[in-house]
Amino acid sequence: MTSTFPDITISTERLVLRPFEEADVPALTDMMNDELVTAWTPVPQPYTATDARDWATRLAPAQRTEGRGVVFAVTEFLTQRLVGTVNLRNTDWHCLSTEAGYITAPWARGEGYACESMQAVALWLFRDQKFERMELRTAADNTASQQVAQRIGCISEGVLRNAGICRSKVENGTDGSWTDMRTDLIVWSLLPEDLEDLSGALTDASGYPAYPDWN
């Protein structure tokens, strides 16, 4: 029998993390067409409304039901606006380990939302799901993503050389096309014993302490 994460919602001081819905398709489409998202993630480019609908209604739910992980749509508590996404993937149920990824919408950057949502997921993962390890992998030049990992208390474990693909705008291109480039990946980890440091790290980073609740 395949183990699966529960179908839940997590609430913090400013955010609600929930399953994706079809109503998220327009905002998801806009977010995924941002140049930084295109550069650092393997999403289709251009990212169409069809891609967004397929992700929100089929691929993301299947990731949970098939036991591969769980995907959260991150929204503002007050406005319900889509802030970003947190994706737990490559889950190993024997080792109780999973890999986390996160994306933040352009309008929401610089507000500490990525740290707040990642902390909430980590607390739920360790305390409620009894997991023993959360892993992150960031491209060597993606300093913003590395800062999130550091601020939530992750420890850098090493570098996987030439292990990832990022994208760069074609020089002198007139059609806005992108080209693939090899990149090193920095491996980060977070363990249950890091939780005490984790709570303080978020407050220091964003100024907004979070008090996660899930149901």
Encode the chain in three state secondary structure: CCCCCCCCCEECCCEEEECCCHHHHHHHHHHHCCHHHHHHCCCCCCCCHHHHHHHHHHHHHHHHHCCCCEEEEEEECCCCCEEEEEEEEEEECCCCEEEEEEEECHHHCCCCHHHHHHHHHHHHHHHHCCCCEEEEEEECCCHHHHHHHHHCCCEEEEEEEEEEEEEEECCCCCCCCEEEEEEEEEEEEECHHHHHHHHHHHHHHHCCCCCCEEC
pLDDT at residue number 170: 80
Q: Which residues pair with 104 in a beta bridge?
A: 84
Contacts of 54 (CB under 8 A, 6+ apart): none
pLDDT at residue number 174: 65
By three-state DSSP, how is residue 104 classified? Answer: strand
pLDDT at residue number 199: 55
pLDDT at residue number 214: 55
pLDDT at residue number 207: 45
Please list the pLDDT of the chain residue by residue as tens digits (215 residues).
569 999 999 999 999 999 999 999 999 999 999 999 999 998 998 999 999 999 999 999 999 999 999 999 999 999 999 999 999 999 999 999 999 999 999 999 999 999 999 999 999 999 999 999 999 999 999 999 999 999 999 999 999 999 999 998 887 656 678 898 999 999 999 999 987 665 544 443 444 444 456 55
pLDDT at residue number 23: 97
What is the value of pTM for the model shown? Answer: 0.88
Label residue 60 exposed, middle or buried (CB < 10 Å: 0-12, 13-18, 19+).
Answer: buried
Residue owning tokens 């890999």? 99
